[in-house]
A = this chain, B = another copy of it.
Amino acid sequence: MKTALKPLEIYSLVAPDLERVEEELASYASSPIEPVAVIARHLLGAGGKRVRPALLLLTSRMLGAVPPAAIRLGAVVELIHNATLVHDDVIDGSDTRRGRPSANAHWGNPMTVLAGDWLYMQSFAVALGERNFDVLSTLVDITRKMVEGELLQLTLVGRSDVTEDQLLDIADRKTASLFAGCVRLPAIVAGRTPAEADRYALIGRSLGMAFQLVDDLLDLTSTEEALGKPTASDLRDGKVTLPVYYALAGGSDPARSRVERVLLERDFRSVSPEEIVDSVRDADGVGRPRKPAALDLPGRDLEHSRIHPQQAGVTTDGRDAGTGPQYRSRIG
């Protein structure tokens, strides 16, 4: 078995392609309307990890080559991701994003709402250039799902009676659906059938779920410096994430009331972030979401099938297992 690659090594596999995505992105941030161009440049120039374009490009390379369409679609998924971030910032009233003032803090909510709208329209306009209905409906479906996920999350803000199913559904819509698209789109472009593309999409979806779960953990366990925003800001915003859910559901009574206190105060006034992290650890809320078995999404009907860890190319002990048997024949 090969040694697993480190993140930077994975990125390096598609570094020149990512450069081309950056050029595409810069070219899309143009508008005859000056304020639009200024905001778009600010947003798209803000960096970020470009995880989604990287996943799309890696898939494209796995399938044989990186055609110009994959470069453009890499830019499109990043545009859509940024549009959702911009509206999320308005919704959360966030002051910072990636360590810089957020768009709403910079330009105010009205301008930021419109900037998000503009990014959505620009992304669809670029995608339309591919003249491929499957590409377009993949993107529109994903975007609708992401909006629905954010809406669902909003209805649960401040509530401690959320269920595991609800949290997994939100992660699926908000994060995993776009990751699935990042694997589905290059499969379509490479001429795979819709059914094949759907199977590929499952890999992306599993990666997306894993990404979101790790993101939720980092919100609790990382530092403000590393995150570019305060630690435990999800809970401060009234959002119970999966690790915190385990502290609520399986934790002690004091653990439960600590979480509820923060949800009530919407701040770490009478409870410290460290106490919450301790409660989460006591309920194994850090370990449980890390286990890929969590991806077997108990009690939920996924649209196509249940996701099994093996399909996502990971073993239950967390080691890289290569690709599942149904993909091995094609990409081996």
Contact = CB atoms under 8 A, between A and B. Distances in A.
A151 B91 contact: no
Contact of A110 (B31, B90, B136): B90
Given A109-B90, A110-B154, A154-B111, A147 B133 contact: no
A211 interface: no
B125 A140 contact: yes
Contact of A36 (B90, B121, B140, B148): B148
Interface string A160-185: 00000000000000000000000000
A113 B35 CA distance: 20
A90 B109 CA distance: 9
B151 A33 contact: yes
Which of A33, A92, A110, A147 has the most chain B CB atoms closer than 10 A to its own CB? A147
A114 B154 contact: yes
A97 to B, nearest CB: 16
A328 interface: no
Contact of A140 (B128, B133, B152): B128
Given A118-B147, A121-B140, A33 B90 contact: no
Given A144-B122, A148-B36, A114 B87 contact: yes
A131 B92 CA distance: 37
A314 B154 CA distance: 50
Interface in A12-51: 31-33, 35-36
A118 B133 contact: no
Contacts of A131: 133
A114 B35 contact: no
Interface string A96-117: 0000000000000111011111
Given A113-B113, A116-B117, A128-B137, 19 more contacts: A33-B152, A35-B151, A36-B148, A87-B113, A87-B117, A90-B110, A90-B113, A114-B147, A115-B151, A117-B120, A117-B143, A117-B147, A118-B148, A120-B120, A121-B147, A122-B144, A125-B140, A125-B141, A128-B136
19 contacts: A33-B148, A33-B151, A87-B114, A87-B117, A90-B113, A91-B109, A91-B113, A92-B110, A111-B154, A114-B150, A116-B117, A117-B147, A118-B144, A121-B143, A121-B147, A124-B140, A125-B140, A125-B141, A128-B140
Interface of A: 31-33, 35-36, 87, 90-92, 109-111, 113-118, 120-122, 124-125, 128, 131, 133, 136-137, 140-141, 143-144, 147-148, 150-152, 154-155
